[in-house]
Chain A
Amino acid sequence: MTRRKISILFILLGIGIAFSLPQFVQSNYVLRIAVASGLFILLASAHNILMKVGQLSLGPVAFYGLGAYVSAILSTRYGVPFVICFLAAGVSAAVAGWIIGRLTLKLRIAYFVLVTIGFAEFFRLVALNWTAMTNGPMGITAIPAPALWFKGYAMYYYFILFLVLIVLFGLYRLENSTIGRAMQAIRENEVLGQSVGIDSYRYMMLAAVLSSFIIGIAGSFYAHFFQFLGPEILSFELTITIVVMVIAGGRATLAGPVLGAILFTIIPELLRAATVWRMVIYGALLVTIMLFMPDGIMPSLVSVYQKLRNRFRPAGEPSDLRTTLEIFDTMPQNTGCRQEQFAVSTERCDKEEICKEASLIVEDLCVYFGGVHAVEHVSLSVYPGEILAIIGPNGAGKTTLLNAITRLGPITSGMVHYLGEELNALKAHETAHRHIVRTFQHTSVFPNLTTYRNMVLAHNALEPTGLVTNVFRTSGWHDAEQEIRRRADEILEFTNLKQYVDCVASSLPYGAQRLLEMGIALVADPNLLLLDEPAAGMNPTEVEALMELILRIKKMGITVVLVEHDMKLVMGISDRVAVINYGELLAEGTPEEICQDDKVIQAYLGRCFDDAQTL
């Protein structure tokens, strides 16, 4: 039985048990706890969407409270039917999520956390002090049930079960889609994601809106279930509970927050016997879990299962590393090697020949950081099909120039044109959409994912990104999925990384990691590839292999701009060399010309590379 089948079996079993629960459990108490678990599953899963893009929000209760109050006020004051209240709660929370996203998603890490705390507190104070509308600390009583036939808890239970199943199904579909992978890429390495064309802002916004919508409808459910609503719903303690559920459950997985929500609703109930010691024991338990299962309970369960399985598995069968992170991943095992040859895109400039017309034109470019003039009036042209090396001493402004071209860094003045289009106004991910892709000076991969997954994520920007396409898997979706696999296999072959396919990127040997970086860039389908010191830290054998790889890339018709210190590499493969010193263009020409240039020798090379070895 495959892993997928086992997963499906477990899920069906779970759903079956969930559906029949009210049949064999008559206890209102148990049902009540089950409903509370359902609410927390919604909250934790929705909160996890934001965690998936690497943002820790401490303000989920703001949307919870907003949804609850909107629903409660509409139904008690204006007699609006439940269905409309319910949707209004979701929509108003989503709108609030969008507004707050607009204001905060430019912020990262600590600042984002602080601002979200601020928003939650703001909503709490509004609920507390706008007594005319919210009734302040006195709360809103007599909130009607969703319908007259909502008599016992069983109805509420089925209702929340229905919501949970829909939300989880949607999130599952999302996670294993272009959108989910984009979110994973952003969490793993946002800048790298942008460099291969992933619009991190869009996905973060999508995450914020989606998350707040789900939390908003959960708030509505809360109000109509409890039939009483006070400002307590906006307490910071609730936020902590939700975050604990996500983190202790296992934030990297879909099942983690579900498990966390169920466990952390049930555990405090089980600890009731401990009366005053209850929260102390709860806290100690939590610390223990986090100490010994830092990734959360779900990933730990999976890894224990895996270890057991490995122990009883006949030798020789390949291990299954990917499951540790992607328990429900539907990606196939890519054991069968692809035989197809790497296809050379024909629309690119003619193979060996260097075209006469420049594709990338840098015109009088300046980049200043306050008083530091990192790039000063540099003009450069790159011709399709060539390898242009940019050399210069450390701090000369080479990387700043690359950043400016790929729009990851600022431009103070000057112009960057690519195929007649001005790049100045573009965002980083948009340059990737124009097939300009780069690598980074310091190894930049998606460190916690397998080599294969790295390749898959790099393809993201080339896939359909619509919400509907990805959740409902419309016609084009399956073709796109096929294409990802084909492309990933192709590049794995091309970069000789097949042997590492199932290894986590950060565990790869250094040389292989640098190759992986190139592979990531290649998957993103560049016409212009900018390599930032690809040979840094490589041993001579690895450099040889790299040179050969870059030449093969050139052969495919991809233009290469190379920032490099390794003179053997630069002089060995470049068609032209540009020298930058103190932000200014010092010289430009063929390797031979540069070697003989007095200014260059004085500023950077010393003596030419043949003699350099004897120094």
Chain B
Amino acid sequence: MHKKSVVLLITLLILIALLFTACKPAVEETAAPQAKLEEVAPEEKEAEPEQPASKEPIKFGVIQPLTGPVADAGAYVVSGLKIGVDKINAEGGVCGRQLEPIIMDGKNDPQESVNAAELLITRDGVPIIMGAWGSSSTLAVMPVMERNGVPLIVETSSSGKITTPGTPGFDWTYRFSPMSLMESEAAAPYIVDKLGMTKVAILNVNNDWGRGAAEVFTNVIVANGGEIVSEDFIEQTTTDVLPQLTSIKNSNADSILITTGAGQIATILKQYKELGMTQTVLTTGGSNYPVAIMNLSSAEIAEGTYHLVFYVPSEYDLAGDPAVAKWYFEEYYKRGLPDVGLGESYRGFDGVHVIAQAMELAGCDLSPEALQAAIPLVEFKGLSGTVKFDEREGHQSRPNVYLTKIENGVMVVPDFQFD
């Protein structure tokens, strides 16, 4: 009995201690990402002491899902971001100061993401934030940005509402992640004629991303004389798509359009092969880097499939800046990062460069208002093409879209798309 109460007391003490640490987590927090950067980038370590010690690093906020069901995707963005930060810092930083990202977990949950945004602005006083991965989280964060008057750079979310004037927080939000609409527009000239997708079965993930893609691709396919045979939406966590595939197999569909994450695409392709299906496969969405899909399934399974991507890592010439693309590709593998993340990691890399350039363009005035004014002037040649926010398109940047194909176990970029 006595022992038990001692344990009880200790547990209570820990709880109380935890409550009191609330007063000073700022120190630990900012230290954590820095420590990690040093781990992954030892070569930059020596360069640091040369920086004038009096100059404080420039902080900026990042909200990504670091835990929860989509933590892997958040980690990919963060890995690209860290490469970008290290590159900028090694080249002398921004306005002569080092960049320091404060990365917060938003769990891709609206409430958590909003809390993270509020904390970044209030406690760390960041003048700009990049985030918040999913569209729901981004849409929830946007009013907070407006309330506080801090700009938001959107790197992943695809919901059309984010760039629709009238949405709360629209004035402060700039997006370089492409909408499905842009993919469909890029694919319009060849999707029916060249790929022969005339009777299409759509198999998309059931969220704004998958649903949005289904809508815009339907328009494009129908406009080019094709038709939609069926439309299925599956949960992000679904691992068995045999029922949907069987029904597609038994329909008169000649092709399948898939929009979801790389992992689920691989799962679908495995089951597609299992059923011995022959329909043309086109995947969209941006996380579908063909090499990753081959690694997640196999070269045989993925053979002959088409993938619409924004960033073709190994084809440097297709990027906004081939030299940077080459450096990035090599740096990424040098750090031992996984294939599967490469396709998405560009978001973090391009994102931090957009932020850095906006800071320079603002004449090193790091107030949120100055940054807001500078962001429309940004023109960054990055991995996914040129990032330039178009006022007429709702602060949206238009990236490259490329069709890739897996042929004989390697990724190729078919020529007909450039006609």
Contacts and interface: CB of A to CB of B under 8 A. Distances in A.
Interface string B21-64: 11001001100110000000000000000000000000000000
B12 interface: yes
Interface in A225-271: 226-228, 230, 232, 235, 237, 263, 266-270
A275 to B, nearest CB: 6
A288 interface: yes
A29 B136 contact: no
Nearest to A281: B18
A293 B168 contact: no
B352 interface: no
Given A36-B115, A142-B168, A28 B122 contact: yes
Contacts of A235: 109
Interface residues of B, number: 58
Interface residues of A, number: 47
B105 interface: yes
A27 B7 contact: no
A32 B118 contact: yes
Contacts of B148: 28
B222 interface: no
A131 interface: yes
B206 A270 contact: no
Given A28-B122, A226-B140, A228-B110, A138 B25 contact: no
A270 B25 contact: yes
Interface string B186-225: 0000000000000000000011101110000000000000
A453 B66 CA distance: 50
B408 interface: no
Interface in B116-144: 116, 118-119, 121-123, 135-136, 139-140, 142-143
B362 interface: no
A292 B7 contact: yes
A578 B75 CA distance: 79
A555 interface: no
Given A141-B167, A272-B105, A29 B139 contact: no
B139 A228 contact: yes
A138 B71 contact: no
A139 interface: yes
B166 A142 contact: yes
Contact of B135 (A138, A269, A274, A307): A138
A300 interface: yes
A17 interface: no
Nearest to B108: A232
Contacts of B28: 273
B123 A27 contact: yes
B19 A292 contact: no
Given A138-B212, A228-B140, A128 B206 contact: yes
Contacts of B337: none
Interface string A274-297: 111011000000001100110001
Nearest to B141: A228
A307 B104 CA distance: 42
Contact of A275 (B68, B105, B121, B122): B105
A391 B318 CA distance: 95
A139 B139 contact: yes
B295 interface: no
A29 B119 contact: yes
Interface string B139-178: 1101100011000000000010100001110000000000
B122 A29 contact: yes
Given A279-B67, A304-B5, A137 B110 contact: no
Contacts of A303: 5, 8
B278 interface: no
A260 to B, nearest CB: 12
Contact of A272 (B11, B18, B29, B208): B29
Contacts of A131: 211
12 contacts: A28-B147, A136-B211, A139-B135, A139-B159, A226-B111, A226-B143, A228-B136, A276-B75, A276-B105, A292-B4, A292-B7, A304-B5
Interface of A: 27-30, 32-33, 36, 128-129, 131, 136-139, 141-142, 152, 226-228, 230, 232, 235, 237, 263, 266-270, 272-276, 278-279, 288-289, 292-293, 297, 300-301, 303-304, 307
Interface of B: 4-5, 7-9, 11-12, 14-15, 18-19, 21-22, 25, 28-29, 32-33, 66-68, 71, 75, 103-105, 109-112, 114-116, 118-119, 121-123, 135-136, 139-140, 142-143, 147-148, 159, 161, 166-168, 206-208, 210-212, 233
Among all A-B residue pairs, the 10 with the closest Cβ atoms: A29-B122, A230-B136, A137-B207, A29-B118, A138-B208, A273-B29, A273-B28, A279-B67, A228-B140, A228-B139
